[in-house]
Amino acid sequence: MRRVRLGRTNLQVSAIAFGTWAFGGDWGSADFQDSKDAIHHALELGINFFDTAQGYGFGVAE
């Protein structure tokens, strides 16, 4: 997995972020084991950038 610098920091994160909002169940039912398996698979692929924001809007990133 290609890494990129995160903003102005020295942190190196995967070029692809993994969104996890749906795991919280806000968009319907969520299966804990399926969510856990998906995160482990993303890690195996080299993803280390996880977006947990519920949403973005109104000019503010939560």
Name the residues annotated as catalytic: 56
DSSP per position, the chain: --EEE-TTSS-EEESS-EE-GGGGTTTS---HHHHHHHHHHHHHTT---EE--S-EETTEE-
Q: Which domain holds residue 8?
A: 3-56
Q: Decide if 8 is inside a domain.
A: yes
61 located within any domain: no
Q: What is the pTM of this model?
A: 0.77
Q: Is residue 34 part of a domain?
A: yes
Q: Which pLDDT band holds residue 58 (cuts at 50, 70, 90)?
A: low
* Banded pLDDT at 12 (limits 50, 70, 90): very high
Q: Does residue 62 form part of some domain?
A: no
Would you say residue 4 has pLDDT above 60? yes
Q: Is residue 52 part of a domain?
A: yes
Q: Is the pLDDT of residue 62 over 80?
A: no
Number of structural domains (the chain) is 1
pLDDT tens, 13-55? 999 999 998 887 777 788 899 999 999 999 999 999 999 887 7
